[in-house]
Amino acid sequence: MVRIAVAGASGYAGGELLRLLLAHPDVEIGALTAGGNAGTRLGEHQPHLAPLADRVLGESTAENLAGHDAVFLALPHGKSAELAAQLGDSLVVDCGADHRLTDPAAWDRWYGGEHAGHWPYGLPELPGARERLVGANRVAVPGCYPTGTSLALFPALAAGLIEPDVVITAVTGTSGAGRSLKPHLLGAEVMGSLSAYGVGGEHRHTPEIAQNLTAALGSPVSVSFTPVLAPLPRGILASCSARLTDAATDAATIRQVYEKTYAGEPFVRLLPEGQWPTTGQTLGSNLVALQVTVDPDAGRLVVVSAIDNLTKGTAGAAVQCMNLALGLPETTGLPTTGVAP
């Protein structure tokens, strides 16, 4: 049995981690900690986690988190490096942003301050990523937007089928913002309205998407990224496109590239032709649903991906990486069915 701890257990990412870990056959749940909610019962914050309702949250200190085989950090950015340094050789899976970017200058521009260094990047489906995760003791879980968008676009980029100038609009549920008490996240404001934010390249996930796509191509990729907030709790639907290169002959060949790329991937599902992804089908599952097509008039490839931002977009990826890091079968404890309707 793997004994785990979760720091940030009263938040949305922490709650989803615990939902998955409760169902994981090889996991025993150890310390649960929080920031401002330390000292309260988990059941006050996560009433859906009935089996853990009476657990009292500790403080998110290294002392409380030490002595576990794996520690999951679901903390605001800037908090994980110092904690991790005190956790020795335990596996540390960081759901925050601190160790995702490889370029200190990018960190400084987008998040500000000194970079804590990068860790193996927890998107096993990217080229070369899985190998770096096997046996790792530090993992940086990707951002929710980079997950679905990178997997939508890297196969075409790597195969030279599209120009390195991609345009992404991704629509998201509101849990991606966490349990932040901000007026624009109130139910009354969210329901019945759609809004864009971080437009013009200002969202912090932009450099992370660019980093993933640039790595896949081997040369710089320009990313135009617009996130849109929609009235649902969970889910990201990303509409991704780029101009086709001369190497892109026909739609069938392009589809084959995606089929081949994802043939062995347990969590990426290229839908049958003509069927388009919905976020509803991925709710609570670790799946990425994908569809790819060609717009002949516009000369563009269009790929649409759907994920659950809290599962494959955060906590599911974290558990998938824990499995890889600890030598467990990669798919253990991870649902491939969604909860619908």
299-338 residues near a second copy, rule: CB under 8 A: 299-300, 302, 304, 306, 335-338
Q: Name the residue nearer to a second copy (CB basis): 138 or 234.
A: 234
- Of 13, 248, 212, 23, nearest to 103 (Cα)? 212
The dihedrals phi and psi of 17, each to the nearest 5 degrees, come to -55, -45
Choose the stretch contacting a second copy; rule: CB under 8 A; options: 73-81, 120-128, 146-154, 295-303: 295-303
Among 239, 245, 331, 332, binds a second copy (CB under 8 A): 239
Catalytic residue among 95, 144, 240, 321: 144
User: CA-to-CA distance for 193 and 176, rounded, in angstroms?
Assistant: 16
144 is catalytic: yes
Site for a second copy in 148-167 (CB under 8 A): 165, 167
CB nearer to a second copy: give 144 or 287.
Answer: 287
Q: Is 179 in the site for a second copy (CB under 8 A)?
A: yes
List the x/- string, 42-61, binding to a second copy by CB under 8 A: -xxxxxxxxx-x--------
CB neighbour class for 198 (10 Å; exposed up to 12, middle 13-18, buried from 19)? middle
In one-letter notation, the amino acid at residue 219 is S
For 214, other C-beta atoms within 10 Å of its C-beta total 17
Residue from the set 234, 258, 316, 322 that interacts with a second copy by CB under 8 A: 234
Residue 3: which H helix or E strand, with range?
A: strand 2-7
Site for a second copy in 255-294 (CB under 8 A): 269, 271-272, 275-285, 287, 289, 291, 293-294
Q: How far is CA 127 from the centre of its chain?
A: 16
Structure tokens at 237: 């639907």
Catalytic residue ranges: 144
